Amino acid sequence: MPQDKFIGKWAFPLDDSLLEQSARRGGQYDFKKIADDIIEKVHFGPGDVVLDLCCGNAALAKFISKSCKEIHGVDHSAHLIESAKKLKEKENLKNLSLHFEDALLIDELFSEDKFDKSYCYFSFQYFDKQKRELLLKKLSRVTKRNGVIFLGDIPDKTRIWNFYPTKLKFYRENISRLAQFKGGECDLGWWIDPKEITDWCKRKKLSTEILSQKNLPHSHYRFDVLIRNTK
């Protein structure tokens, strides 16, 4: 059974706030604004069947569901899925289906070419390099040919110094992570060079576009990726 790796560490699903559950704290966060940014980049259609991978408490699916025919949310946290179910009932989100499952098992959960559009937001960076490549492979499998795969809010390794105010803070955090056997992963997940994703997609003959974030809280050190699934 999937385990709640981040629960109680960075995410707190027992709190009533959707922001707190998603470890998004502060007045600068607005899920509708983030969802609108995703909708603008992905261009969901009224007939689209959509995958929200690592959907958490469905705070984004709540808005994106209004732009598509059907949306499936998948998350490995039983706590967050329960929260998502409460939100679904409260908001009467009839076209939202929720699945408690490991993201790396989506090709067992869904048939090949199930989705017109797939997206993974806040979460891609919490998979190590080997698992990231496996996840992309499986996303490509369940997303239709010429469909869209969107990866969002990824910490950009090439802009890491936009985040750390000093090198001393950076090295202190790295030493702390090594002492905790975290193998390079931090609270933000893994810092990823956009070239890693474009190179993988190029090998698989997938069209890729690296997108900047505009007017979002972490645009100075995060990026998005739009992949056209020309498999």
Rounded Cα–Cα distance for residues 85 and 78 (Å): 10
Q: Name the average pLDDT for the chain.
A: 86
Cβ–Cβ under 8 Å, residues 8 and 91: no
**Interstrand relation of 96-100 and 222-228 (parallel, antiparallel or unpaired):** unpaired
Cα–Cα distances (Å) from 34 to 13, 124, 161, 163, in that order, read 20, 16, 24, 20
Comparing 1-10, 32-41, 125-134, 169-178, the range with the smallest average pLDDT is 1-10
In 3D space, the residue among 165, 161, 158, 163 whose CA is nearest the CA of residue 218 turns out to be 163
In 3D space, the residue among 125, 112, 115, 121 whose CA is nearest the CA of residue 148 turns out to be 115
Measured torsion, CA atoms of residues 6, 11, 13, 16, in degrees rounded to the nearest 10: 180
State the CATH class of domain 18-156+194-228.
Answer: alpha beta
Please list the residues that pair with 117 across neighbouring strands: 50, 148
pLDDT at 77: 86
pLDDT at 206: 93
Tokens (6 digits) for 229:
């699934």
Q: Where are the alpha helices (DSSP H) in 99-156?
A: 106-109, 129-142
Most confident residue range from 13-27, 150-164, 177-191:
150-164
Of 123 and 23, which is predicted with more confidence? 123
What DSSP state is assigned to residue 10?
T
pLDDT at 167: 81
Tens digit of each residue's pLDDT (9 = 90 or more) over 98-154: 999 999 999 999 999 999 999 999 899 989 999 999 999 999 999 999 999 999 999
pLDDT beyond 70 at 178: no
Rounded Cα–Cα distance for residues 204 and 199 (Å): 9
Tokens (6 digits) for 50:
């959509």
pTM for this entry: 0.86
Cβ–Cβ under 8 Å, residues 54 and 74: yes
pLDDT at 166: 82
Tokens (6 digits) for 27:
């007045």
Domain boundaries, the chain: 18-156+194-228
Please list the residues that pair with 192 across neighbouring strands: 156
pLDDT at 96: 98
